[in-house]
A and B are shown apart, each in its own frame.
Chain A
Amino acid sequence: MNRKIVTLMVVVALLVTSGRFALAQSQVGTLEITGVPTDVAAGRYDREAGVFSADVREIDGASITVKLEDVEITGKTMEWRTDDNYLFFTVDARLTQDDFELTADQVEYFGEDKNLKAEGRVVVTTEDATVYADHLDYDEETDEALFTGNVRVVFSDGVLEGERFLMLLEKSELQFFGSFQGEFTDEENGEQ
């Protein structure tokens, strides 16, 4: 069992050291919309409201990508409110950084609140584990990532399932709420 805990701690350590969702600092970023024919309008910017929106769902091979240093967010639709730095990606939403990847039906980033939310078929993949959930709520201030709804944490040698799973990234601490069940393979003995 000690090995399982060590594996979990490795996941936490990886999340902590890579500083996953740090987007709020002032950074020079780029937004790219590629693969759009020249006669098709894919993006719109309302200067008065300070809102940029783009939709490439109907365009084969087109994509929207935001790059902030080594963080990359892609999707098929997006909205960006410049006033409060709010980003909203839907349809094939994906956030990647190095070996870390988050995919979900939609990803929202609240720049003023330093908060990131992912909803619908949330999958967080790292080198050592994959976390599945219905929702992810990450608070950049407290450095806490809360996974809720049908949570499954899959390691190479086991699975943990529950409803609520909190990663306290700064403290390298994992909290499981409610009933959780796990299944691990003892590699040395080949037992479960």
Chain B
Amino acid sequence: MAKIIIIALVVLAIAVYLIFHFFAEPPPPPVSVPPSVQLLESRLVGRKDGARQWEIWAQSVLQAGESVTLNDMDEIIMFQDDEPYLFIDAQRAVWERKPDILYLHDAVVRDEDETFYLESDLLIWAGSEETLASPESVFIRWQGLEIDAAEMLLKAQENLLYLKDDVRIRDGSMLWRVESAVYDLDQESMEFFGSLVLEGEVGESE
């Protein structure tokens, strides 16, 4: 009887081996995952020549390839002469290292006393060209101006601010509504393209 059981087990073992060896699908090949680094609750500090340039505190920093993604950021602080001068709040930031492009989603940029305030759903800083673009609607408060525009491009080297589509600029009691405008930040002058409407108070205030 024991002989019969042993023979049956051997037959079963041979059958199982044959089934798995010849009929079962081979396991899928391993997926190629690029090496990545994830840091949690991180404070990143950027320095140039030893001087602090910027500081970022984020819940999550993920580096994958050439892309660095920061989530749940507290604040980005930009420094000038080691003093904070610009604060950026953003939901998410993605830095493409090679082309040096920084995407800031749901961003608010302001200076310490909020004389400068910028709000945009998406800000794109192109480091090589030194341009800051908002391909979506933007609101800026600066030097007594309140600016709304559907699109914005700041050319930092030339200090020119390009505003496009449905541009509204409030300057005190004056409200400019223009198709597009270029604001020369050095000259403090604006050039208006296309048709425009200015509404405002004219004459003496009595």
Contact = CB atoms under 8 A, between A and B. Distances in A.
A111 interface: yes
A44 B200 CA distance: 16
A35 B190 CA distance: 19
A83 interface: no
A82 B176 CA distance: 14
Contacts of B176: 45
Contact of B191 (A26, A35, A37, A43): A43
Contacts, number: 95
A123 B171 CA distance: 36
B204 to A, nearest CB: 5
B180 interface: yes
A32 interface: yes
A30 B189 contact: no
B203 A23 contact: yes
A24 B193 contact: no
Interface string A85-98: 10000000000000
A40 B195 CA distance: 9
A29 B199 CA distance: 6
A38 to B, nearest CB: 4
A85 B195 contact: no
Given A26-B203, A43-B191, A46-B189, A31 B171 contact: no
10 contacts: A25-B203, A26-B203, A31-B196, A31-B198, A31-B200, A35-B195, A36-B194, A37-B194, A42-B192, A48-B187
Interface of A: 23-48, 52, 68, 82, 85, 111
Interface of B: 171, 174, 176, 178-180, 182, 187-206
